[in-house]
Amino acid sequence: MDIHALQQIVHKTRDARRKQTIPKFSPADRDQLIHKYHPDFRASAYRPIKFGPNEGDKTVVELATLLEGDSSIQDNADLTPHYTCDVLVVGGGGAGCAAALHAHGAGAKTILATKLRLGDSNSVMAQGGMQISVAPEDSPVTHFIDTLKGGHMQNDHTLLKVMVEDGPSIAKWLLELGVLFDRQADGNLHVKKGGGSSKPRLLTCSDYTGLEIMRVLKDEVINQKIQLLEFAAAVELLSDDEGNCTGAIFKDLDNQRHVVVAAKSVILATGGIGRLHIQGFPTSNHYGATGDGLCLAYRMGAKLDHIDTFQYHPSGAVYPEQLIGALVTEGIRSEGGHLVNAKGERFVNELDTRDVVSSSIIRECEEGRGIRTMSGRVGVWLDTPLLDAEHGPGTVEKHFPAMMMQFERFGIDISKDPVLIYPTLHYQNGGVKIDTNSETNVKNLFVAGEASGGLHGRNRLMGNSLLDLMVFGKRSGLTAAGRAKSMMQGKLTVKHVQRFRAEAKKHGNPSGVISPMILPAYTRKVG
């Protein structure tokens, strides 16, 4: 059938659905649902890691293979540094920019290296907002509790407390840099309600929150004249005789040459893994989200945490084909958008946590209440026109200009027609284990942002990522800069690679895979 014919049921059932309230699942029902339908519980997609700091721990096959992968750097590589600095930041997204700005601000000679351009990241796409407890009826403690519930009580308490308490001062910092958060009539910050949160807590810049923050941070990095190495992909870290981190080796993607950077501290802000397309899922992630930082840190001996759990954002576009995997912001559901199956029924409280909502969408589709597309994909409806019906004509256009434009380009008016969605691989809940200064168990190796783990437990709450980036970017930057004053640059060796190779040999490294991946192999082999 034509898509418009199938959409009719959504229009027909709208008024009846508006009168319904769907209760949230009880903890027991929620656990049962997740265990049955969430991709994290698909045992066949997982295997134990054969060796290294997380030997025996299970993760998805795609990641395990890369973690066990070999380095592209030979034992006898020339390690004469091309650049020397106090703080080397790897990654140009939100965490990387925040880390570089704070390190630089604290007087450290800072280099920011990134494999694409400054700012090409997932951060720039964050639409939903940033959770900070600024409302009088809210508190950092409530923010803590909500996040803990969302993370299935598995979050690292000390990291989480630090994040929620640092939040308000981060908002102040961003405002002073000129970030235009939405305001109430009285000039206070406007807060929106996000999935899994008991209080409205999302600071937003319409549906361009990440873009607005990144425009400002990028501009500030350039204004501060922080040295940039763009199109430089980190391929290996450097260590001294004690195994402390002392720098990194990059591949210049323009000329394939190696660039060696000596640094007193390294901050990995390399983001997530969406482009590994775990379990064949499409992804909302940017081109470079290939988990490079995880591989680099792991070879160096850094322990990973919660790397068996990933976030599948409930609403990735399924139609049109061009937008498959692209995100339809959770903001639509925050403002009351319903999820509707092929029979015109709601089936979950739309503001439940992402893992619950995703699991219930997968359930609807597996039990035959989904809508199938030509390419064999399946999805359910997100009733976007409902927002105009509920809050007045023009609401969708006014509140979600980015979404409107994205679909308009393919001839779809989401204020008039519902969109077809299915969970899309969105976020790596875990990552490299860090302390409250964002440092790993490897000395002078810091990890900030999505590449780090522990903070979000087994499921990140909407809006907590942008805050995570800023808080731990800042903490890593300040700690690394503070340390630089009283320390000497360590020796540059790749002894950790030799150790890793020896261990790999013991266990056999049959894959022959070189990691990190750097960019996904999308180019079709022609001829």
Partner 1 sequence: MAQDDANVIDQPEVMKPRMVTIEIAGKKVEVPEGITVVKAMWYAGIDVVRGVGCLGGFCGACATYYRTKDDPKVRTCLACQMAVQDGMSFTMMPPFPARKATYEIQKLKDPKQDLFNLYPEAPLCRNCNACTEACPQKIDVREGVWKAVFGDFKSVSEMFMDCVMCGMCTPVCIADIAPNLVALYVSRAQGAHFSEKPVGLDTRIKEIQDGRFNDEWNKILKMNEKELAEHCATVK
> At 65, which helix (H) or strand (E)?
helix 61-67
Which range touches partner 1 (CB under 8 A), out of 42-50, 63-71, 300-308, 405-413?
Answer: 405-413
**E strands within 151-284?**
191-192, 202-203, 227-229, 232-239, 245-252, 258-268
Which listed residue (409, 416, 506, 507) binds partner 1 by CB under 8 A?
Answer: 409
Residues binding partner 1: number (CB under 8 A): 96
Can residue 328 be called a binding residue for partner 1 (CB under 8 A)? no
- Residues 236 and 250 sit within 8 Å (Cβ to Cβ): no
Q: Which of 152, 333, 363, 458 is catalytic?
A: 333
Measured CA to CA in angstroms, residue 207 lies from 40, 175, 203, 392 at distances of 29, 17, 10, 18
- In the complex, the smallest distance separating the C-beta of residue 406 from partner 1, rounded to whole angstroms, is 6
Q: Report the candidate in 465, 439, 97 with the shortest Cα–Cα distance to residue 285.
A: 465
- In the complex, the smallest distance separating the C-beta of residue 20 from partner 1, rounded to whole angstroms, is 19
Question: Interface residues for partner 1 in 418-477 (CB under 8 A)?
Answer: 420
Question: Interface residues for partner 1 in 166-195 (CB under 8 A)?
Answer: 168-169, 171-172, 175-180, 183, 187-189
At a CB cut-off of 8 Å and minimum separation 6, what does 497 contact?
71, 73, 75, 236, 299
Can you tell me the distance from the alpha carbon of 436 to that of 459, in angstroms, rounded to the nearest whole number? 20
Question: Interface residues for partner 1 in 334-373 (CB under 8 A)?
Answer: 342, 366-373
Can you tell me the distance from the alpha carbon of 95 to that of 101, in angstroms, rounded to the nearest whole number? 10
Other CB atoms within 10 Å distance of the CB of residue 226: 21
Which listed residue (139, 242, 394, 413) binds partner 1 by CB under 8 A?
Answer: 139
Question: Interface residues for partner 1 in 98-127 (CB under 8 A)?
Answer: 116-117, 119-122, 124-125
- Residues 292 and 284 sit within 8 Å (Cβ to Cβ): no
How many helices (H) and strands (E) the chain has is answered by 15, 20
- In the complex, the smallest distance separating the C-beta of residue 184 from partner 1, rounded to whole angstroms, is 9
Which range touches partner 1 (CB under 8 A), out of 145-153, 440-448, 489-497, 508-516?
Answer: 145-153
- In the complex, the smallest distance separating the C-beta of residue 216 from partner 1, rounded to whole angstroms, is 6
Which range touches partner 1 (CB under 8 A), out of 129-137, 303-311, 468-476, 502-510?
Answer: 129-137
Is 333 considered catalytic here?
yes
327 vs 386, beta carbon nearer partner 1: 327
Question: Interface residues for partner 1 in 44-83 (CB under 8 A)?
Answer: none
Question: How does DSSP assign 271-325, residue by residue?
Answer: ---GGG-GGG--B-S-TT-S-HHHHHHHHTTPPEESTT-EEEEEEEE-SSGGGTT
- In the complex, the smallest distance separating the C-beta of residue 243 from partner 1, rounded to whole angstroms, is 33
Structure tokens at 47: 């295997």
Question: Interface residues for partner 1 in 7-46 (CB under 8 A)?
Answer: 27
Q: What residues are annotated to the active site?
A: 313, 333
